[in-house]
């Protein structure tokens, strides 16, 4: 028996729901598939809510711990537990899954059951990544996310989907295979344990630490993605169906950042300190250079993809400046970016479903025909450029404040995003939404339907609530972040 544990439910409810959806079979039963998927997704979100309610935000360490022997030959345990960081990401993930099911309701007409099932599987697997306290379990979940995403991009994607799907899969696999070698090495030096908690306590000399750090980093940097291994992301985003883009941007990229927080920092603290400058440099390049790259994009999805990379630069920057403000800001930024980038991709999806074009040049004057959409899109664009009062501001501001304490120049470089971010987002917004009606296709656009309004409305609510009152999000982080930083401050060298 696995025993009753909310984390088990968070992982397995979506996966079982996915299996049930898959069982409906061909498109003759598409209606049933949609309903089961929605029920499964809502149920999956519902079982994560008690986690927040019962989470003790004053306690450090891990909560809701389950530990059961899994592969005794290798001393692998089914070991689950969460801290504040995982809690928020699990909530974000389960919430996003509901939105994706609704967003794909009528848009997906072919192989509906497989589409819905893939997202439900993905949701459960990613919750698994956020819960795992056993390195092998973590790796298994981390890798398993590739299979549904590969299928999603390849089956429901755009014209160049095969290339994008392969690039996505091979890039990420290349990264994570090296971290597998690092994990096996750790297993051997820790006398046969795969427990992350054992690894946290394991003393390591600097050279192995640096090598392990680099192995982890190849895996997580690809996932985040950090400059210069980001090139798979624009391709994957452009070709993926709307739901795929949303999951990629909102959750999957966070797996990388989460890996830094859960594995790299606590297992190799000295290497993290030693190489922090390097990671920060890459992060700042992402923030500044990728921000400029976003400026010149002609494709809506590509623009948002580059904007994602730039915003994720903030996250890695916040993680590697090693102060509570920066790290908390990084996590807040992860959640906020989940809402905002998800919303922006959904907005592009709304336009694409009507016009079948993602080129900015094909649009213009959409505000005239889709006023409600224009208003919501405006909110998300503002949030993306970091307007105070939206969630986008909170995380970026905290990271910049944290960076000032380390070095003024880090903060100065990071702060340029407030200019570039506003520039590329608002300029894009202006070209698409304002002005005279560009052509007869735009003139024929219909405004949001009820389903789309619900999805975007929920996200708008989340963006505003988090922007105005971030405390419920931040308070669960304090203890976990302080715990982690205290741990990272201690040298593991002996």
Residues 107-136 that bind another protein (CB under 8 A): 111, 114, 136
CB of 153 to another protein, least distance (A): 9
Asked if 202 interacts with another protein (CB under 8 A), we say no
| Binding region for another protein (CB under 8 A) out of 65-73, 249-257, 338-346, 366-374 | 65-73
Asked if 16 interacts with another protein (CB under 8 A), we say no
Choice from 2, 19, 26, 59 touching another protein (CB under 8 A) = 26
Burial label, 415 (beta-carbon count in 10 A; 0-12, 13-18, 19+): middle
Asked if 73 interacts with another protein (CB under 8 A), we say yes
Asked if 151 interacts with another protein (CB under 8 A), we say yes
CB of 162 to another protein, least distance (A): 6
Asked if 25 interacts with another protein (CB under 8 A), we say yes
Asked if 18 interacts with another protein (CB under 8 A), we say no
158 vs 389 by CB, closer to another protein: 158
Q: By CB under 8 A, how many residues form the interface with another protein? A: 37
Whole-angstrom distance, CA of residue 485 vs CA of residue 326: 11
Whole-angstrom distance, CA of residue 480 vs CA of residue 482: 6
Please state the three-class secondary structure of 408-457 as a single string.
HHHHHHHHHHHHHHHHHHHHHHHHHHCCCCCCHHHHCCCCCCHHHHHHHH
Choice from 54, 74, 228, 359 touching another protein (CB under 8 A) = 74
Beta bridge partners of 299: 359
- Cis-peptide into 225, omega within 30 deg: yes
Asked if 420 interacts with another protein (CB under 8 A), we say no
| Binding region for another protein (CB under 8 A) out of 139-147, 266-274, 312-320, 341-349 | 139-147
| Cα distances (Å, whole numbers) of residue 369 to 199, 259, 315, 430, 442 | 58, 44, 37, 15, 7
| Cα distances (Å, whole numbers) of residue 79 to 30, 135, 176, 191 | 37, 9, 21, 18
* Residues with Cβ within 8 Å of residue 201, at least 6 apart in sequence: none
Site string for another protein, 162-191 (x = CB under 8 A): x--xx--xx--xx--xx-xx--xx-xx---
160 vs 439 by CB, closer to another protein: 160
| Cα distances (Å, whole numbers) of residue 273 to 50, 268, 276 | 37, 9, 5
Whole-angstrom distance, CA of residue 248 vs CA of residue 74: 32
Please name which of 381, 387, 369, 344 lies closest in space to residue 435, comparing C-alpha atoms.
Answer: 369
Given its phi and psi angles, is residue 419 left (phi above 0), alpha (psi -120 to 50 degrees) or beta?
A: alpha
| Binding region for another protein (CB under 8 A) out of 81-89, 153-161, 422-430, 444-452 | 153-161
CB of 136 to another protein, least distance (A): 8
CB of 256 to another protein, least distance (A): 18
Choice from 18, 40, 124, 154 touching another protein (CB under 8 A) = 154
Choice from 139, 213, 227, 260 touching another protein (CB under 8 A) = 139
58 vs 72 by CB, closer to another protein: 72
Asked if 11 interacts with another protein (CB under 8 A), we say no
Given its phi and psi angles, is residue 79 left (phi above 0), alpha (psi -120 to 50 degrees) or beta?
A: beta
Whole-angstrom distance, CA of residue 476 vs CA of residue 87: 8
Orientation angle between helical segments 84-103 and 324-355, nearest 10 degrees: 10
- Cis-peptide into 228, omega within 30 deg: yes
| Binding region for another protein (CB under 8 A) out of 47-55, 101-109, 161-169, 316-324 | 161-169
Neighbours of 23 (CB within 10 A): 13
157 vs 326 by CB, closer to another protein: 157
Choice from 48, 92, 130, 143 touching another protein (CB under 8 A) = 143
CB of 166 to another protein, least distance (A): 6
Choice from 1, 72, 356, 446 touching another protein (CB under 8 A) = 72
CB of 83 to another protein, least distance (A): 24
The answer to whether 315 and 337 are in contact (CB under 8 A) is yes
CB of 215 to another protein, least distance (A): 9
* Residues with Cβ within 8 Å of residue 193, at least 6 apart in sequence: 75, 187, 199
Beta bridge partners of 134: 195
CB of 214 to another protein, least distance (A): 12
144 vs 276 by CB, closer to another protein: 144
Asked if 140 interacts with another protein (CB under 8 A), we say yes
CB of 281 to another protein, least distance (A): 26
Residues that bind another protein (CB under 8 A): 25-26, 70-74, 111, 114, 136, 139-141, 143-144, 146-147, 150-151, 154-155, 161-162, 165-166, 169-170, 173-174, 177-178, 180-181, 184-185, 187-188
């Amino acid at each position: 028996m696995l025993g009753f544990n909310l984390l088990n439910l968070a992982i397995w409810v979506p996966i079982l729901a996915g299996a049930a959806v898959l069982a409906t079979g061909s498109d003759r039963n598409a209606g049933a598939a949609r309903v089961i998927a929605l029920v499964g997704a809502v149920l999956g979100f519902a079982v994560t809510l008690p986690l927040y309610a019962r989470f003790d935000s004053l306690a450090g360490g891990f909560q809701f711990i389950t530990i059961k022997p899994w592969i005794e030959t290798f001393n692998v345990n089914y070991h689950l537990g969460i801290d504040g960081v995982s809690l928020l990401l699990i909530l974000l993930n389960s919430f996003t899954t509901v939105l994706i099911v609704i967003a794909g309701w009528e848009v997906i007409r072919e192989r509906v059951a497989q589409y819905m099932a893939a997202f439900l599987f993905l949701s459960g697997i990613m919750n698994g990544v956020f819960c795992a306290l056993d390195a092998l379990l973590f790796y298994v979940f981390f890798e398993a996310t590739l299979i549904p995403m590969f299928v999603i991009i390849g089956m429901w994607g755009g014209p160049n989907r095969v290339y994008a799907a392969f690039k996505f899969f091979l890039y990420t696999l290349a990264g994570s295979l090296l971290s597998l070698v690092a994990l096996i090495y750790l297993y051997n030096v820790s006398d046969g344990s795969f427990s992350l908690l054992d690894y946290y306590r394991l003393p390591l000399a600097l050279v192995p630490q640096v090598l392990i750090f680099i192995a982890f980093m190849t895996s997580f940097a690809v996932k985040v993605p950090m400059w210069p291994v980001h090139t798979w992301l624009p391709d994957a985003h452009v070709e993926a169906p709307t739901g795929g883009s949303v999951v990629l941007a909102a959750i999957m990229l966070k797996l990388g950042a989460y890996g830094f927080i859960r594995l790299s920092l606590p297992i190799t603290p000295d290497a993290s300190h030693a190489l922090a400058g390097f990671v920060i440099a890459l992060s700042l390049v992402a923030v500044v250079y990728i921000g400029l790259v976003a400026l010149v994009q002609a494709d809506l999805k590509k623009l948002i993809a580059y904007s994602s990379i730039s915003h994720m630069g903030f996250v890695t920057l916040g993680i590697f400046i090693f102060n509570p403000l920066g790290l908390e800001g990084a996590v807040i930024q992860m959640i906020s970016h989940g809402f905002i980038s998800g919303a922006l991709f959904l907005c592009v999806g709304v336009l694409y479903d009507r016009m079948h074009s993602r080129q900015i040049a094909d649009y213009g004057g959409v505000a005239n025909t889709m006023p409600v959409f224009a208003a919501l899109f405006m909110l998300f664009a503002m949030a993306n450029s970091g307007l105070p009062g939206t969630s986008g501001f909170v995380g970026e501001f905290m990271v910049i404040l944290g960076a000032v304490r380390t070095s003024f120049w880090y903060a100065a470089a990071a702060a340029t995003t407030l200019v570039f971010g506003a520039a590329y987002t608002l300029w894009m917004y202006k070209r698409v939404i304002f002005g005279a009606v560009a052509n007869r296709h735009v003139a024929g656009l219909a405004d949001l339907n009820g389903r789309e309004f619900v999805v975007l409305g929920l996200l708008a609510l989340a963006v505003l609530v988090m922007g105005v009152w971030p405390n419920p999000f931040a308070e669960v982080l304090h203890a976990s972040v302080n715990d982690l930083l205290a741990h990272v401050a201690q040298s593991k060298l002996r």
